[in-house]
Amino acid sequence: MSAYSATAVMERLNAAQGRPLLYQCSLLEEILATTSTKELRMAFPQILRELFDFELETTTGWQLDRVFQGAQPELFERLQRLLGPEGPLMKLVNSLHADPQAVYQFPFKCLPAPARQMLEEGVVPSFYANKLQGHNFSSPAIVLNAFELYIFHLAYALVCPVWQARNQGWSDLYEFLYPRIIDEYLTYFLPCDKSSLPSVPFTNNVVRSPLGSISPSRQYGSPSAQFTSPNGSPGGSSRSLFKPSFLQAQKQNQQSIPVYDQAETEIWRSETFLQVITEFWLNQNSFSGSEVMSFGGGLQFSTVYRRDPFKLIFEHFMPTMNQVKVVRLLVKYLHYFANSATSVVSSPFQSVVQSPLDQFKRSVIPHILQKKLYTFLRHAFDRWPLDSCFRMVLETWLSYIQPWRYLDFSRRLCPDTQPSDSEQGKQVDDKWCEFVEDNLLFYTVLTVEFLPRVHRMDLTSAYSAYMVYRVSRILNLPNLPNLIFKAEQELFGPMSRPVDLGGSYLSGHALQVSAIAPPSQLIELEGPNFMYMPFFSDAMKYNMMRIVEQLTESLDIVRKKQSASVADGRAQKNVGFFASLFGAGGSGESDYNTLAEQKRLPGHLEHAIHNFCGVFSLPRPSSVSVPPNASIADESLYLAEESGGLPECVETENGLKLTDVGRRQLLNKERKFDKFDMGDPDLEPVRSYENRTLVRLLFHICVVINFYFRANFSHLFQRQDFWGRFARVYLSPPLSIKPSRIRSPRTVQASKLLPSDQPRLSLRYLASYHHLLQLALVYVLQTFFLGLGPSGFVLLSVLLLVLYGLFVATLKSFSHSQPPHHRSSPTATGEIS
């Protein structure tokens, strides 16, 4: 018997709004465990609206985008278990999917703008063909089963206005709940290290493939009209992931079907999941050439905006930084997934039958990801502001055009582990020729679209120079220019030479190739009227020559600034101590050369010039003298990818261990660990800026004091009155016994040194040479002005410390601050992207 009815479930969920999220999570787990599937069928949409803040205020709802593992480890673990691919909520989804009456509507206004506009125009995209219902002239209705409804909500949450208004920054994707859940679903529905997909728990409901074939005579709102595909051509989708026999098997609700088709039917969940997240994350703007028409003045507007052409100018969806990070996570994982397909050895003596999973792996990028990602990047290249945040968009593009970096999924020890420098600099094998040919516009057209941004960049900025260097480094990978040239020759044939080279870098569409018929890739991604610029044409070389001139000018400016800063630094050393103390030694310009990123700036500019000259066979400027095989320590932490940049490690029985390459990366400061989970800070190794004897002496003194007064310290620390706040000024709070996620190597012995779970006194800061110098300077000043000796100095210091504690405790009394129950190690707290 069900513990709650459908009405009671919704009433309890509504009453729990505003309560702590941990309570709401426990309540939902109780409801899912004690209520029948029949009662939960009606409450299922309400549960999803509560979970993903669907059309709620920014201060209400579950706010899953804000759940951070470092701050709320218990809540993070509970929600991860609840929303996991095998958690209670997914079990409910699987149960409802077996119920033919569990059919739900998704709001039409929440669909991506291009799809919504096409449906309003009467054009039905193949993805929505079996999900669309409408009567006469009524508004369209998107009807979904339970699994589709859940994935729609999961994907829409990332782009919904509620989450965008909060704009929660994810500096570390895997420390926040939503990206961690997405990664778990990717590894579950798209396994790289398994030979089959997870089996469908219930198969009573008819499987509906989003790429199923559709009758040519069907069109929403006009039954007699001819169906129009999203590409503008009559008929259904031109490409399908599966063979016609599999699509035909889906239409028939048979009790007994062949074993091979039964294995194929398990792919529909993975396909649906991937189709939905790419639809919501990558299809928010229409930039495809197949949907554009030209107007006077060279502007292009989408056909869905023909009635209001200015709507495209003022209305566009700008992705958030979090969305770009998750898209990059998706791109890298799909490369791992596609590269994990079993290699097919063709033989004239036997026919090799590929498994449905291998077919899916080989088709997922060209059929699902390619076009939508190209539209996403084209819009970002055109609309993204000119700031350093564009680097994540750039890294997403560079990740996609380097599938050879994501071959071995087993080396993915941490979610943010990156290939080593030696792997990144290897020659691109000829086996990637097919990928380069299928994605040629990603290499050529997007490079052309990147050039106008370079002209508007301040290349004396370390971030801007590094972005240009990254692009040049990838384009100049050994053998990659040859593969691009071969792909152009294969697709377009011999290129016609341009007549006029006077066009600017904006003339990216000014050349027409001499091919008899443009390739299908160009028509599908850019449209038949698109003017393709050959990548190695004279016009492209002219544009790159201008980029090289800009880089050379910026290099000269940087060198002059650094020379001036060195001269200022030498002049400042010649002034007296008191003159430098009061700021008479310079204008502060000498700090320019002290920053590590500024030191690497000339090297980035020089290598960018060398790389571009090598790719396009341009004469190298005389002021640039970079040897062909030179290398620089360019992967500094601040410039490294925000989701990567860790030294190379291997997993051992004692934890992570640095390899020889990882040690070199640490020594050269190419990469470093962003977190060191060493436990109690008092047990950390002695630093170079600390006195070894004082560290050990102060440690033993504190151990004795904390041992004899541990009960008093604990009582005072937990008090919420004035004296409790006074004690918390001097006492260090207890550390969490549960260690955070290990992000740096540590031995088993170090991991057993658990942090202290009691408030304690810590005097280690007195062993720092910096603090000792400050105390010595104060002693000299008080002796000179007050005439006090050592005993007077000690009494004065104690008095000042007491007054400081009283002052801070008084300030906290007004704020009514509560004592923290526990905290993580200061060096282990997370960031977040």
Among 159, 181, 208, residue at a domain's last position: 208
Write down the pLDDT at residue 83. Answer: 93
Write down the pLDDT at residue 193. Answer: 80
When pLDDT is cut at 50, 70 and 90, the band that residue 503 belongs to is very low
Most confident of 80-84, 493-497, 829-833: 80-84
Q: Within this chain, do residues 606 and 715 fall inside the same structural domain, yes or no?
A: no
The number of distinct structural domains making up the chain is 3
More confident residue, 411 or 331: 331
Q: Within this chain, do residues 766 and 629 fall inside the same structural domain, yes or no?
A: no
Write down the pLDDT at residue 641. Answer: 40
Instruction: Give domain status of residue 260, yes or no.
Output: no
Q: Within this chain, do residues 702 and 656 fall inside the same structural domain, yes or no?
A: no
Residues 238/134, Cβ–Cβ less than 8 Å: no
Instruction: Give domain status of residue 261, yes or no.
Output: no
Among 208, 237, 263, residue at a domain's last position: 208
Q: Is the pLDDT of residue 585 over 60?
A: no
Q: Token pair of 559, please?
A: 């060198």
Q: Within this chain, do residues 697 and 670 fall inside the same structural domain, yes or no?
A: no
Instruction: Give domain status of residue 823, yes or no.
Output: no
Q: Within this chain, do residues 68 and 191 fall inside the same structural domain, yes or no?
A: yes
| Cα three-residue angle 7-13-17, rounded to 5 degrees | 145
What is the tens place of the pLDDT at every residue in 432-468? 999 999 999 999 999 999 999 999 999 998 889 999 9
Residue 284: partners with Cβ closer than 8 Å, 6 or more residues away: 112, 113, 114, 159, 317, 319, 376
Stretch (H or E) spanning 604: helix 596-616
Q: 5-14, 169-178, 820-829: lowest mean pLDDT where?
A: 820-829
Residues 155/277, Cβ–Cβ less than 8 Å: yes
Residue 182 structural domain: 6-208
In whole angstroms, what is the distance from residue 555 CA to residue 577 CA? Answer: 35
Instruction: Give domain status of residue 666, yes or no.
Output: yes
Q: 26-30, 258-262, 308-312, 623-627: lowest mean pLDDT where?
A: 258-262
Q: Within this chain, do residues 499 and 622 fall inside the same structural domain, yes or no?
A: yes
Q: How far is CA 24 from CA 18, 29, 160, 411, 801, in A?
A: 9, 9, 22, 38, 45
Q: 322-336, 732-746, 761-775: lowest mean pLDDT where?
A: 732-746
Instruction: Give domain status of residue 314, yes or no.
Output: no
Quickly tell me which residue has 């700036």 as its tokens. 601
When pLDDT is cut at 50, 70 and 90, the band that residue 337 belongs to is very high
Q: 118-127, 253-262, 367-376, 559-568: lowest mean pLDDT where?
A: 253-262
Q: Is the pLDDT of residue 373 over 90?
A: yes
- Give me the helices (H) in 720-789, please: 722-730, 748-751, 769-786
Q: Is the pLDDT of residue 546 over 50?
A: yes
Average pLDDT over residues 637-659: 59
In whole angstroms, what is the distance from residue 403 CA to residue 373 CA? Answer: 15
When pLDDT is cut at 50, 70 and 90, the band that residue 10 belongs to is confident
Quickly tell me which residue has 């030179």 as its tokens. 630
More confident residue, 421 or 326: 326
Residues 669/633, Cβ–Cβ less than 8 Å: yes
Write down the pLDDT at residue 84. Answer: 92
Closest CA to 373 of 329, 404, 337, 408: 329
Average pLDDT over residues 30-41: 88
Percentage of the chain exceeding pLDDT 90: 26
More confident residue, 576 or 703: 703
What is the tens place of the pLDDT at every residue in 505-539? 334 444 444 444 567 778 888 877 788 889 999 99
Q: Within this chain, do residues 697 and 659 fall inside the same structural domain, yes or no?
A: no
Instruction: Give domain status of residue 579, yes or no.
Output: yes
Percentage of the chain exceeding pLDDT 70: 67
Q: 120-134, 209-223, 328-342, 614-628: lowest mean pLDDT where?
A: 209-223
Among 208, 242, 259, residue at a domain's last position: 208
Write down the pLDDT at residue 293. Answer: 34
What is the tens place of the pLDDT at every residue in 381-426? 988 888 888 999 999 999 999 999 998 887 764 444 444 444 455 7
Q: Within this chain, do residues 625 and 697 fall inside the same structural domain, yes or no?
A: no
Write down the pLDDT at residue 610. Answer: 92
Q: Within this chain, do residues 666 and 739 fall inside the same structural domain, yes or no?
A: no
Instruction: Give domain status of residue 25, yes or no.
Output: yes
Q: Within this chain, do residues 768 and 620 fall inside the same structural domain, yes or no?
A: no
Q: Token pair of 261, please?
A: 């088709």
More confident residue, 737 or 655: 655
In whole angstroms, what is the distance from residue 236 CA to residue 258 CA? Answer: 26
Stretch (H or E) spanning 693: helix 692-708
Write down the pLDDT at residue 59. Answer: 64
3-state DSSP percent of the chain in helix, strand and coil, to 5 = 55, 5, 40
When pLDDT is cut at 50, 70 and 90, the band that residue 757 belongs to is low
Instruction: Give domain status of residue 148, yes or no.
Output: yes
Closest CA to 131 of 101, 106, 163, 150: 106
Name the burial class of residue 415, with classes exposed (0-12), middle (13-18) and buried (19+) by CB atoms within 10 angstroms of its CB. middle
Q: Within this chain, do residues 647 and 754 fall inside the same structural domain, yes or no?
A: no
Write down the pLDDT at residue 683. Answer: 74
Write down the pLDDT at residue 494. Answer: 67
Q: Within this chain, do residues 616 and 727 fall inside the same structural domain, yes or no?
A: no
pLDDT, mean over the chain: 74
* Cα Rg, the chain, nearest whole Å: 31
Q: Is the pLDDT of residue 13 over 60?
A: yes
More confident residue, 325 or 4: 325
Write down the pLDDT at residue 369. Answer: 93
Residues 192/199, Cβ–Cβ less than 8 Å: no
What are the b/e assignments for 17-38, b being 16+ CB within 10 Å? Answer: eeeebeebbebbbebbeebebe
Q: Is the pLDDT of residue 37 over 70?
A: yes
